Amino acid sequence: MRRDHVDPELEEGRFVFRGVAYGSMRWGILRSGVAPLVLLHGFAQSASSWDEVAPCLARTRPVVALDLVGHGCSDRPLDARRYRLDEAAAATCAFLEHLAGGVGVPAVPVVGYSMGGRVALAAAQRDARPFAALVLESAGLGPVDEGERAQAAARDACHAARLRSEGLEAFMDDWARLPLFVTQGELPVSTQQRIRRGRLSNDAEALARSFEGAGQHVMPLRAETLSSLACFPAPVLYLAGGRDRTYREIAQDLRAEGVCAVRIVEGAGHNVHLEAPERFCAAISDFIANLR
């Protein structure tokens, strides 16, 4: 990807909410009256996982990526309640309000990938006011019914137990082999190694608490989510990779029902911004082009 005419001036910052410090990274200079783009990463990732696309996105507006609790440079508290989805949503809303207030705008656009999408969605359902736009990249929309919720709860509990019993490295070896990530095996070896290093920089107990507190099983039922998206006061885009069957089907359903704008990036898998960075940047830039 070309990165000419970009001076990212990468910086790290800390944001404290209810005694927990959250790390962040910034590309570009925050300017009064210009809403920065906020990025929320996926499970076992960090703000640095946006390195490939953030400089490109920062050509038109500043970009800020937040480390979710227990990830990256954020704290890894012992209190399991800090990892709950509702707590992550509250912290995210506070961060967005803080960021928007700092540059004198009412709201900012937000992109959430996978787990970060669940957090962004929960925050938007909690309080839509700090959102100038919402982009959900390969994000779950909640269980269809209570039976599916029970299955998701059992699956997340199993993941948490394996992290604690087998350790981080063994768990991540299996995690990388999930069908969800099979297309990442086609990425350059150096990229695959970088992904692995990022996953192994995490803490097994913090990730286990993330599964327990913020897994798909704690989300509202999908019907409630669809209702909230359909009447969301800011523009919403759902983005999925064409080779990611599960989330492509979610995107197709959203398109068929006219719930929100939808973009399916053909040739990409679950992590669109990693596997098709140029088309990801084009989709995001087009979607938020008319925002201040």
Q: What was the pLDDT predicted at 290?
A: 84
Give the mean pLDDT of 138-166: 98
Element housing 111 (H / E): strand 108-113
Residue 36 DSSP one-character state:
P
At 39, the amino acid letter reads: L
Q: How confident is the model at residue 6 (pLDDT cuts 50, 70, 90)?
A: very low
Interior angle at CA 211, CA 206 and CA 217, nearest 5: 155
Percent of the chain topping pLDDT 70: 95
Residues 6+ apart with CB under 8 A from 246: 180
Torsion on CA atoms 74, 167, 274, 7, rounded to nearest 10: 30
Give me the helices (H) in the chain, please.
Answer: 54-57, 85-103, 115-126, 146-166, 168-176, 189-200, 204-214, 222-230, 245-257, 272-275, 277-287
End-to-end CA distance of the chain: 26
For residues 134 and 120, what is the distance between their CA atoms, to the nearest angstrom? Answer: 8
Say how far apart CA 118 and CA 136 lie, in whole Å. Answer: 8
Instruction: Provide mean pLDDT across the span 71-92.
Output: 97
User: What pLDDT shows up at residue 11?
Assistant: 42
Rg (alpha carbons) of the chain, rounded to whole number: 18
Confidence check: pLDDT of 12 > 70? no
Average per-residue pLDDT for the chain: 94
Render pLDDT for 242-257 as a digit per residue (tens, 0 to 9). Answer: 999 999 999 999 999 9
**pLDDT at position 13, please?**
67
pLDDT given at position 14: 82
Q: What's the CA gap between 269 and 113, in Å, rounded?
A: 12
How confident is the model over 84-97, as a mean pLDDT? 97
At 221, the amino acid letter reads L
In the predicted structure, residue 10 carries a pLDDT above the cut 70: no
Q: Where are the domains of the chain?
A: 11-142+218-287
Q: Which CATH superfamily is domain 11-142+218-287 in?
A: Alpha/Beta hydrolase fold, catalytic domain (3.40.50.1820)
As given in the structure block, the two tokens for residue 286 are 């087009």
- Segments of 116-267 assigned E as strands: 131-137, 236-241, 261-265
Name residue, tokens 């599964």: 211
Specify the pLDDT at position 260. 97
**Which stretch of 1-10, 48-57, 264-273 has the lowest confidence by average pLDDT?**
1-10
Cα dist from 97 to 94, 109, 110, 289, whole Å = 5, 12, 12, 21
For the residues 82-111, what does the mean pLDDT come to?
97
pTM (2 d.p.): 0.94
Q: What would the two tokens of residue 53 be?
A: 């696309």
